Structure 1
Amino acid sequence: MLNLISDVSGLLVGNAHDENLLSGVTALIFEEPATASIAIHGGAPGVRDGALLEPDMTVEKIDALVLSGGSAFGLDAPGGVQGFMREQGRGFTVGEARIPIVPGAILFDLINGGDKNWGRKPPYWELGYAAAAAAAKGFSIGSIGAGFGATTANLRGGLGSASARTSAGFVVGALVAVNAIGSATIGDGPHFWAAPYERDGEFGGLGLPAGFTAADLALQLKGAPAPPKLENTTIAVVATDAALSKAQAKRLAVIAHDGMARALRPSHAAMDGDLIFAAATGRAAREASLPDQIEIGALAADCLARAIARAIYSADAATGAGSKPGWRQRFINQNVRHTS
C-alpha cells in the first residue's frame, strides 16, 4: 500500500502544472471503464459532464476523471485528457466513433499571484493532456497538479491522497485538491482538524491540542480581516475496488463528504464548489454486501479527511506573490505540544 488512491486496483494518477501560471491539472485514469457518480455540496461548482454521472443517466461507465485549477477555464483540461484517451483507443462506442468519457471539476486559483495572461487560448487542454500522459501508480502529493496553485485561509493548499483497507479486504482511497475558504489547521497552531483519523504519523503525528480555546474555534476565512475572498473550492475523488452500481457510487460520494467537513472549517459554503466524485473499479474478488458498502463509505470519508491534511502538510514553501506559506515553512521550527 502506497497510501495513495492508486492503491485501488485499476486506476492511475498523473499531474502537470505550470510554475509561472501557478496552476495545474490532475488526471485519474481508469485502466478499464469504471462506474462513477458525483455529489455536489458546495454552492458554486464548476463541472464538466457531471450530469451524466447521476444514477438515472444512460452512460454507465467512464474512462477518466479530472481535477483542475483555472476556474471555468480549467474545464478545457478534460478535453486534453480526452484527446490522450482517444489516442489510446478508449471511449464509449457510438457507431464507428469512440468518445472517451472524462468528467472533470475545477477550483478557483485565478488571483493567487500566477501569470494568467495566457492570451487567446488557456493552457489547460495541454496541461490535461500532459497529466494523462504522466499517469502512473506512484505519484507525488503536495504542491503539484491541480493543487499547485491552491491556498487555504492561512496556508498553501495542495494535492493530497490516502488509502485504507476494509475489514473484508476492499481497498478504498481518496484524492483531493484543497483550495478551501477556511482552514485545515486549528487556530494559529500546527494541529489538524483531521488528527483523529491520522495513520502512522502521515501528517506529523501531532494529535489534537491539549485543549480548545475560543480563538481555536474562531472562523478563519481566506482574505480576512479584509473582506473575505469567497471564490474557493475543494474537489475530490474517492474510489474503491468493489463493484458498485451508479446509485451505490452516488451514496459513496455523499458519505465521503463527511471527511471534508471533518478536515476543513468551514466547508460547503455558498461560493465553494465543493464536490466529490466516487468511482468503483470492480476488481475486488468478492461482492460488497450492504455492511461492506457502509464500511467502504466510512473509510472513504476517513481517507478524504486524511488526504486533506496530507495535502497541506506536504505543500512546498510559498511560490509567487499571492501564495500562502507552506505548513512546514510556517511550523517546522516550532516546538509543538503533542496530545498527552
Structure 2
Amino acid sequence: MEPGPKNLITDVEGLLVGSAKDDALKSGATVVLMDRPFVASVHVMGGAPGTRETDLLAPDKSVAGVDALVLSGGSAYGLDACSGVVDGLRAAGRGFQIGSAVIPLVPGAIIFDLLNGGDKGWSENPYRRLGREAFDSASEMFELGSTGVGTGALSAMLKGGLGSASFVLESGVTVGALVAANPVGSVTTPGDRHFWAAPFEVDGEFGGLGTDPASGLGRALDSRKARLASGEDASQRANTTIAIVATDADLDKAQCNRLAVAAHDGIARATVPAHTPGDGDLVFAMSTGARPVGDDPRALAEIGHAAALCLSRAIARAVYHAWPATGDLLPCWSDMQG
C-alpha cells in the first residue's frame, strides 16, 4: 500500500471536500460529496454521539444512496450545517425524487466544541451558513489542521483539527479517510512529542519522529495533567472523533457498515483512551462503486485494514497540522517542539 498522489480522501476519484470556518466562533463545518448519490453506512462506538439522518444508513433501510455527508462543530447546533448543504443541493437540483419533489439526503455528525474559547453568543444559529459555505467551496484539494470542522477541535493536551490520508492497494482499490480529531483522550504519548499513530506513519507525514522509545506508556498516562483527569473539567467535557472513510471499491450498504466497524480500530490506535462515555466516536463509510471487487471476503478485510490505517494517520495529521489562533485554550503540537 502506498498513499495516493494527494494523500487525501479525495484520492478516491470523484470525491469533493468543502470546508468553512468562523475564527471568532472557533468552529466550522466540512462536507464530502460527489456529483451523484453514493452508498454509505455508519457505526457508532462513542457514548455521546450527535447525529442527523443516520438511521437511513442501516443496511435494512430502503435508501440506496445519499447525496453528501457532513462533519460539523457546534454540538447539537452544528447539525444545522446539514441544512445548509441541503440548501446547496436543492439549488443544484440534487436529491431523491418523489414526483415533483426533490429531497437531498444528507446525514451528518457533530463534535462538541462549545467550550473552546470561541464566541458562542450568537443570536442566530451560524451553522446553516457554514454548511452552505462548505458546500460551495467543495473541491479535490483542501487544507488540513485548524479549519472546517477542525477549527476549534481539542484533544486532551493539544489542539485537534481536520485530518486526512489515503492508500492505494495492490489491487488498485483506493481507500481514504477524513477526520475531525477532537477526542477526550490524547493523540500523543506523554511529553507530547511522539504520536500514538507513529507505527503507521508514511514518509514523515506527521513529523517523522518515530515511535516513543519509553516503556510503560499506558501506565504513564495515569499521572499526566490531562484535562480529562481534572474533576472540574471532566464534568464539562463532551468530545468526539468523527470520521468518514471512503473507497472506490463497489460495496453495498452492509459491506460499508463492516468497513465503518473496521475503521474504528484506527481511532483506538491513534487516541488513548478512545470510545469513552464522553466521546461520540463515529465513522461513516462510503463507496463510489467504481471498482468491482466481487464477493471475496479477503478483499473487504484488506479494505477495512487500509481504512483503519488511514484513519490513524489522519488523526495524527490533524493534530500535526493544527495552527495557533487568538484565544486558544491549548497549544498546538508545533508549539511544543521548541
Change over 3 Å in CA distance of 1:312–1:83 after alignment to 2: same
Find the counterpart in structure 1 of residue 187 from structure 2. 184
CA deviation map 1:6-36 (0-9, x unaligned): 0001210010000000000001112221100
Q: After superposition, where does 1:142-153 map in structure 2 within 5 Å?
A: 142-153=145-156
Query: Alignment partner of 1:112: what SS?
Result: coil
Letter in 1 for 2:288: T
Matched pairs, number? 330
Find the counterpart in structure 2 of residue 29 from structure 1. 33
Matched, 1:291 2:295: no
Within the candidate set 266, 271, 274, 1:259 is matched to: 266
Q: Distance in 1 between matches of 2:113 and 2:192?
A: 25
CA contact (8 A) 2:189 2:217 kept: no
Paired-residue identity, %: 52
Change over 3 Å in CA distance of 1:76–1:107 after alignment to 2: same
Which residues of structure 1 form unaligned runs of 5+? 334-340
- Structure 2 length normalisation: TM-score? 0.94
Find the counterpart in structure 2 of residue 65 from structure 1. 69
Within the candidate set 315, 332, 336, 1:326 is matched to: 332
Matched, 1:311 2:318: yes
Q: Distance in 2 between matches of 1:236 and 1:217?
A: 28
Within the candidate set 112, 131, 136, 1:133 is matched to: 136
Find the counterpart in structure 1 of residue 227 from structure 2. 222
Change over 3 Å in CA distance of 1:4–1:214 after alignment to 2: closer
Letter in 2 for 1:327: W
Which residues of structure 2 form unaligned runs of 5+? none
Q: CA RMSD in A?
A: 1.4
Find the counterpart in structure 1 of residue 52 from structure 2. 48
Query: Alignment partner of 1:59: what SS?
Result: coil
Query: Alignment partner of 2:129: what SS?
Result: helix
CA contact (8 A) 1:85 1:91 kept: yes
Matched, 1:110 2:117: no
Query: Alignment partner of 2:310: what SS?
Result: helix
- Structure 1 length normalisation: TM-score? 0.94
Change over 3 Å in CA distance of 1:88–1:171 after alignment to 2: same
Letter in 1 for 2:154: T
Q: Give 4+ residue runs of structure 1 displaced > 6 Å after superposition.
A: none
CA contact (8 A) 1:111 1:322 kept: no
TM superposition shift of 1:230: 2.6
TM superposition shift of 1:54: 0.4
Q: Distance in 2 between matches of 1:209 and 1:111?
A: 31
TM superposition shift of 1:287: 4.1
